Structure 1
């Protein structure tokens, strides 16, 4: 793994970067042509394959949007495509973009030790976990704090994260002693990205919600995106693994940066379309940065990551994606620059085994 050179060492490019700029894969595409009908049919099949009360598959291809909705319950009063869905860990793509934006504006470099902002009197050194380590899951932190499960257990089936507030996240980080030097190993960590959010808020003197709104949501015109429930009529209701039992609205507690975002399908497509065409966005530099690979890991270094996305190769170019889940909802976000395609898939059921939702969404995007 190349993460020891953080922040932002980059990795050697290879064939999966073909047509990274959109290139010939977008040239001459006619979204209104014969493929449009087949796309609609494929979306219908994808929705039918997911057994959930509400399902939405939304695709943008060369700027043309196609949305197909369904589910096992009667149509809600508000159309499914207009509801706001919890996207769980896919929120980390917003956090990565925010950090990239702050770096682009010269407010941060990414190499600052997080503890320097969270505990200004603390001594930090070359082995301290930096903002770059946190966003790339290389800070040496576990998935969740050691005492998280003990505190969350009484509300495990309702809202476990809500029992672990911001001050506990920060305190757990400052007390943690990693087994491995930051930057040497990759381990997916909700804990780490949550700490990153608090560090960014401390570094800028701005509350997390205001920080994300100022630098990401408003510049991209994401008026249908929020960090907490706003209206029971327009917030999608999640369901447990049986697909029938409603769950409470997700309370992220101190893990806002790791999983608090909830958004409409169209807002998510707007967010993804900005990644497809960074040059046309007010966040052009930051959007370009989050498409850039920063580390490889695993056998043969086959797993490639940016500061916001997982990145897989296809025959035409890279596919970027991130999934997420709360207690009662799931989300899949992804885009392919080579074909100009973005996909936002959402459902109001938490699958815990044989997850057809993620497999269906990923397969649909990979075949575009």
Structure 2
């Protein structure tokens, strides 16, 4: 019983939205009907936008068990939809005569001169066709560690360091093929700011886009004190609060954009009305992954195109450590939908369903259980089962310690990366309780046994310490 109670205290949460609602109640009812299964969602906010009207609603509680829903003025993390700002600004800069689409990026970022990435053109960066790696390798490694440990790993990178890293990197595949790159989007943003003779990208995007469109609540956090103090925390799989990332460099890629649904509605309205700068950015120009045929254009300047039930829509999504978002626009129908949620479950299918009314078309079907969750579950259960068998077979106290550490490692890994958007946390509790019971039986069996075999003392102690250290590390990730 005690083991079960302890397991319940640290068990992963299976996120569910809850009854909290804000804004338009009719829209809220349609959102709940479109969601069908709210596992993995915490709070959602939906904006339905036309050139002359906006309807906002929030469904689900910001915090598990809470009563507050996301509102139209609530600060939210936008993610990679920020890249579309650069798309519009590239088209605008071309119209102003500041740049040409085929200019190499090194024209405006001379530290890249003579390097493979320096020769990539602005339009290739804007369409992810420049074979630019996703991030510099050190940043990629730190980013993966940050995902595992729920820590911010991007805030230390500075622009000159990133440019020097990019100048030393080879291309990642062949130019002309769409390969999504946050580094490429970052370089494009800083190149455009340089071409416009602006001191930094934040000043540039504020002057050219945010101020003209009255997006007064959109900001880019380079330090933690620039994050809105009332911004809700995102939630990771299993219910952990997500770290709020900041970055002085990767802002053009969407690393740390804080805005409100009201501001994004203004942005979408300006596109629908034709008053936003750089509207040709939305036009598909290049073949993409979702092309119906090799020559079918699906990619513009940081905007993607999708055809659903004969309707052509432009879209971009976003995903940070604890938020997901989607903006989808049907210019011919004069409608747009923006969806944001403070969890890691994608909102793309929901946004497309709400805009098109199609429940099973391209992009509107939910993703299956992520591969990483399946892999983590497989590895974790193998560790737990193996440790359980080892505990049953233990003949010394240190053998039982190693088996217990292996079980803790498996349980912690499963808690951190398991399929808790799809499976109830009760499953983890049951397995943890059974594992604890097996360990308790093992303790009773080895209580009168020696700590280790006489000739294997050093090896036995080293194995036990390493196993406990690994289990402690992963457990700390799971509780962070």
* Same fold flag (TM > 0.5): yes
Give yes or no for contact 2:235–2:323 (8 Å, CA) kept in 1. Answer: yes
| Correspondence list, 1:1-368, <5 A | 39=27, 41-46=29-34, 49-50=37-38, 51-61=40-50, 63-72=52-61, 73=63, 74-76=66-68, 80-119=71-110, 122-123=113-114, 128-156=119-147, 157-178=150-171, 180=173, 182=175, 184-206=176-198, 207-228=200-221, 230=226, 232-242=228-238, 244-259=239-254, 260-278=256-274, 281=275, 283=277, 286-287=278-279, 289-298=280-289, 300-301=293-294, 302=296, 304-315=298-309, 317-351=311-345, 355=346, 357-367=347-357
Quick check: 1:140–1:181 contact (8 Å CA) kept in 2?
yes
Aligned counterparts of 1:165 and 1:239: Cα–Cα separation in 2: 28
- State the TM-score, normalized to the length of structure 2: 0.61
In structure 1, distance between residues paired with 2:75 and 2:349:
22
Distance 1:339 1:173, change over 3 A: same
Alignment gaps of 5+ in structure 2: 1-23, 359-480
* Alpha-carbon distance in 1 for matches of 2:166, 2:98: 23
Cα RMSD (Å): 2.8
Note the alpha carbon deviations across 1:32-74, whole angstroms, 9 max, x for none: xxxx996553124346744433210111135222212122332
Number of residue-to-residue matches in the alignment: 321
- Matches of 1:44 and 1:61 in 2, distance apart? 21
Once the two structures are superposed, residues 294-313 of structure 1 have per-residue CA deviations (whole angstroms, 9 ceiling, x without a partner) of: 10134623561111211112
Check the 8 A contact 1:48/1:70 in 2, yes or no.
Answer: no
Taking structure 1 as reference, are residues 201 and 328 closer, same or farther at Cα in structure 2, changes over 3 Å only? same
User: What is the Cα deviation at residue 291 of structure 1?
Assistant: 2.2
Aligned CA distance change for structure 1 residues 164 and 233 (closer, same or farther; 3 Å): closer
- The CA distance in 1 between the partners of 2:304 and 2:33, in whole Å, is 25
Deviations, residues 264-314 of structure 1 (Å, cap 9, x unaligned):
111111111111121xx162xx12x12211101346235611112111123
Structure 1 length as normaliser, TM-score?
A: 0.78
Q: Cα–Cα, structure 1 residues 65 and 315, in superposed 2: closer, same or farther, change >3 Å?
A: same
Q: After alignment, is 88-97 or 251-260 more displaced?
A: 251-260
Larger radius of gyration: 2
Higher RCO structure (Cα 8 Å, ≥6 apart): 1
C-alpha change, 1:62 and 1:201, in structure 2 (3 Å) is closer
SS in structure 2 opposite 1:147? Answer: helix
Task: Report the alpha carbon displacement of residue 138 of structure 1 after superposing the two structures with TM.
Answer: 0.9
Runs of 4+ residues deviating >6 angstroms: 124-127
Shift of 1:146: 2.5
What's the offset of the Cα at 1:118? 1.8
